Amino acid sequence: MKQFLLVFLGGGLGSGLRFLISKTFNHTFHNFFLGTFIVNIIGCLLIGFILGLSLKNNFLTNNQTLLLTTGFCGGFTTFSTFALEQHSFLKTGDFINFAAYTLLSIVIGILAVAFGFWFSKL
């Protein structure tokens, strides 16, 4: 239960911050979601830094890592988790699953959004 609450708290903070950044920057540039782009890149940087620091010298406890990565970064952007998973494919040299996961995630994700819009009009 404690781990659930840590993820819940971190996720809420991350989601709130994502909202503020997106609201501030998405209207700055026309036809480009700058706020979302900023959030995704910062989230990727944070999840890599937090996990790298934690693995390097046991800087954080498991609960702190869970709060910051699964909770905060997960609420801030799920793209950071996607990028971390892709990094693990590249690290192990699994280029086939890297390519398949990338392509399928993007194509099926976009198709699922389109289907959701279509289905809502029935």
The pLDDT tens digits for 50-97 are: 988 888 888 889 999 999 999 999 999 878 889 989 999 999 999 999
Q: What residue ranges do the domains of the chain occupy?
A: 2-77
Q: Is 77 annotated as a binding residue?
A: yes
Separation between Cα atoms, residue 30 and residue 34, nearest integer Å: 9
Do residues 107 and 91 lie in contact, with contact meaning Cβ atoms separated by under 8 Å? no
CA distance 20 to 115: 29
Token code pair at residue 60: 């954080």
Q: What is the mean pLDDT of the segment spanning 7-20?
A: 96
At residue 76, the pLDDT reads 94
Distance of CA 20 to the CA centre of its chain: 16
Q: Any residues with CB less than 8 A from the CB of 89 and at least 6 apart, and which?
A: 95, 97, 98, 101
The conformation of residue 70, written as its DSSP 8-state character, comes to I
pLDDT at 108: 93
Q: What is the arithmetic mean of pLDDT over 12-31?
A: 88
The 3-state DSSP class for residue 59 equals coil
pTM of the model: 0.77
* Whole-number Å distance between alpha carbons of 94 and 18: 32
Does residue 11 have a known ligand-binding role?
no
Collapsing DSSP states into helix, strand and coil, what is residue 57?
Answer: helix
- Predicted confidence (pLDDT) per residue in 99-120, tens digit: 999 999 999 989 988 888 888 8
pLDDT band at 10 (very low <50, low <70, confident <90, very high): very high
Quick one: pLDDT at residue 106?
92
